Chain A
């Protein structure tokens, strides 16, 4: 270092300023670049830590959740649970029993985990009477907990008339096989 110091101090003043300007420029450019990458790394590391902590929490609760799911499944009769096809056909039957003709049923959206599956369809009903809607909903409620209504909306069409349009999100649970 003393050699460097002597070499530096032996330079003319303008060379000293030039060398220093170069050093400072490198420090600023490198420093800001390094700082940016360090911040990005810190943010990524924090996010990874959070995700790992979250995963660890889920994994630590694995036994409890499986037990909980088994308990919930024990409250259901597997033969009465409905797969997507049975849900659609059951709703179609209930719609017919309620005397509704102008209907539309969307394809089922399915989610599954372990031995369980959930199926959701959207039923749209046009030009229905209040009595028909009440009957349909009553029949659906009779099939709880195997069938449930997630969302319900009703619209008088035209406004102020007795003619009603309804949209229902209907879900069913399915036990794919009996938990061991």
Chain B
């Protein structure tokens, strides 16, 4: 049966997939490290190199055939290294590591627990007991495993535990009998292990150093993890965009309501505005009737008869409009094209004509015959109403 979708959020994030390997498979050593001063990442790289160098000297197998890791915190004088021969893990076991965020020995989960000096933490497991001993530094100095037989009695198990503890001068012993629980930390790649009332937090670099998988395989995993983080951030950006879009939708809904009230206002004011603008238009037209009179006959009379107009020029059409109160347009033809510039010059000489007020375009010229269009602009107020204007020839 499927869980309710809400229960996913109620239960919080699922725990990270961490594989805890049996301690019996690993040998452990405390290895002094002394990285040069510098950035933390550089110092961690140097510590890793020193650990690997020491492991090469200690182990009977080359590093490539080992599953190894180490625990070291900044400032500690030694690291605790652990390694196991790769062939001690079956193919099925190795296959189970796929997709795991961390593969570490079970005891490694508590290596960063905060304990008093000379404390021994004893991890109880069906196959035996593992003791982690801190002499005073942040990094444990020894980890010892003592196996017990599968059919061992409680007395046998108690005796084995006592024998194990005799190897250390412990002031305090903490027994961890329940399974260790590992949760994701506050930041990306951080983990927190809890067991026996202890809490052991690891940052991303420490956790990566603990992982015993092959280092090239880990590099691939790290790249995949970085890619996944990019994918997640892109997904978060999309989710943020959804939020922004939702706000945009709300703004559009609000804006639509605002716009509707403004449209109602426009409709309500429209008759008043139409009345005022109509009144303004009519008042202007009354003013135009009174002060701006179109005088087409007078303008034609000025340019359309002798001595301005040559005898050889005949008017075909004339037009005037109130839009251009002081302009007359006309079309004319002549059987002597040479008269056109003479005619133009004569019009330009008229005192009523505005400077550059004559424009003549020849449309059609064949031999001496020519048709032309003329636009003549007069100075404002220079053309006066003159009843009985002289007709053009």
Contact = CB atoms under 8 A, between A and B. Distances in A.
| Real binding pair | yes
A51 B224 contact: no
A101 B330 CA distance: 26
A141 B255 CA distance: 56
B239 interface: yes
Nearest to B225: A9
B8 A59 contact: no
A146 B286 CA distance: 8
B276 A156 contact: no
B365 interface: no
Given A72-B283, A151-B320, A152-B319, A44 B245 contact: no
B341 interface: no
Contacts of A72: 283, 286-287, 290
A44 B263 CA distance: 10
A58 B293 contact: no
Interface in B309-333: 314-322, 333
A151 B270 CA distance: 31
Interface residues on B, range: 35 or more
Q: Is the interface of B mostly helix, strand, loop or mixed?
A: helix
Contacts of B297: 133-134, 137-138
B387 A173 contact: no
B275 interface: yes
B201 interface: no
B391 A149 contact: no
B279 A114 contact: yes
Contact of A16 (B231, B270, B294, B388): B231
A30 B244 CA distance: 11
A107 interface: no
A147 B320 CA distance: 17
Nearest to A11: B228
Contacts of A118: 282, 285
B330 to A, nearest CB: 8
B241 A75 contact: no
A13 B278 CA distance: 71
Give the residue among A16, A51, A55, A112 with the most B Cβ atoms within 10 A.
Answer: A55
Contacts of A144: 289-290, 293
Given A20-B234, A48-B266, A138-B297, A151 B322 contact: yes
A76 B286 contact: yes
B280 A65 contact: yes
Contacts of B322: 148-151
B266 A159 contact: no
Contacts of A34: 245, 248-249, 252
Interface string A155-180: 11001100000000001010000000
B286 A6 contact: no
A59 B13 contact: no
A63 to B, nearest CB: 10
Contact of A171 (B266, B289, B318, B333): B289
Interface in B344-392: 385, 387-389, 391-392
Given A8-B235, A156-B314, A51 B266 contact: yes
B90 interface: no
Nearest to A67: B283
Interface string A94-110: 00000000000000000
11 contacts: A2-B13, A7-B14, A59-B272, A68-B283, A134-B297, A141-B385, A145-B289, A147-B289, A148-B293, A149-B294, A153-B318
Given A111-B281, A173-B289, 13 more contacts: A3-B9, A6-B14, A55-B269, A58-B273, A58-B276, A61-B276, A116-B286, A117-B282, A137-B296, A137-B297, A149-B322, A151-B322, A154-B300
* CB-CB nearest 5 A-B residue pairs: A113-B278, A6-B13, A23-B238, A130-B391, A145-B289
